[in-house]
Structure 1
Amino acid sequence: MSCTMFIGCAFVDQKVDLSYEKVVNTRGGSGDVFIAKPKDHHNIMKKADGWLIGTVKNTYGMKTADVVTENDIGDWVVRALTQELSFAGYNVMPVTMLPDNVSKGIDLTVLKVFVDQDPGFWTVGAISDVQFAVEMWKNGMKVKSFNVSAKGDDRSMMGSAETKAISLRKAMQAAMQQAVPEIIKTLEQ
């Protein structure tokens, strides 16, 4: 038997489930905070079987298929932020649009969600990139905006959808570690 049995080419799209587990242990939030669901997903293409968020590659690094998710990407970002801000002490209220004269509000724009397969010699990696813009509002006025950009990675024997999902989760956790302390600091000033 040869080693070639492990060298596979995937010609079928891999479906990834976007999940999140809380990692930030920041406290200090109080009161209600509204989070508006992102209205669009810049640079993220929609396919018949889901949102195109990555590539599957063969051993030579050539693209053979796509990574897709049926999950709503905006909802994924809002769910992650809701978990973290609830733990921080806020009463989080996801909404379609921020209300006029919102006391504390967050408006999000998804800039990029992508996972790239990294073919290796012994293991196959998944390198993820999550980027979004945050606008913070207090008493109906925008008080701050900033961009969040974070990476995540994971490796396994095969370039599975699960490896890619773990990599994306790690990228979102890194993004929350950047965003949440800044949000609390700004909203509580």
Structure 2
Amino acid sequence: MPTGDGAEEALALRAAQGDTGAFDALVTLFGGRVFAVAFRILQDRAEAEDLSQEVFVALYHSLPSFRGESKLSTWIYKITRNRCLNRLKFLKRRHVGTLADIDDPAVARAAVDPEAEARGHKRADQRLQHVDVSRVLEEHLLALPEEQRTLVILRDLEDLSYEEIADITGLPLGTVKSRLHRARAELSERLSPFLDDVVT
């Protein structure tokens, strides 16, 4: 499958013209990343799966309006982020908890590194330690305010640039950097006791 920004734009153009094979290729290319972001924000596997489908339905209908003013991946992340925040508001109104799946070790690993399984199995003790770190990271990520959590996910887990994050969130570049700095500091403070225990 072709990769790279140019190839992604070409797939988007073909999909917008009705090429179902090109759209399927986009789903394959971005499906894992969309689910990973959705799960990290929503903290619920079923909700993340449903929302991922909604994102690609929305993408299918909106591709003809894509003008290439930003990267396709940035545009898809923006759709994902906005729908996640709307879903969180809905869940809060219904008082629905979102931590049920974090007890599933496979989900916990996928939340931190969705491609970990593809790189092969590690020793049992390493996997258990990784699950513990994953669990604690996800719990403390969830404790951050929604905006801070989203910034950490996009920058530190999805490796997006500050400029891409500013485009996705609509925040000024300087605001993205300052709020991300505060989010990292708070997350580091929360994680420090656990990481000290792991090291010792």
Pair in the same fold by TM > 0.5: no
Choose between structure 1 and 2: higher strand proportion. Answer: 1
Choose between structure 1 and 2: higher helix proportion. Answer: 2
TM-score, normalised on structure 1?
A: 0.28
TM-score, normalised on structure 2?
A: 0.26
Higher relative contact order (CA 8 A, sep 6+): 1
Give 1 or 2 for the bigger CA radius of gyration. Answer: 1
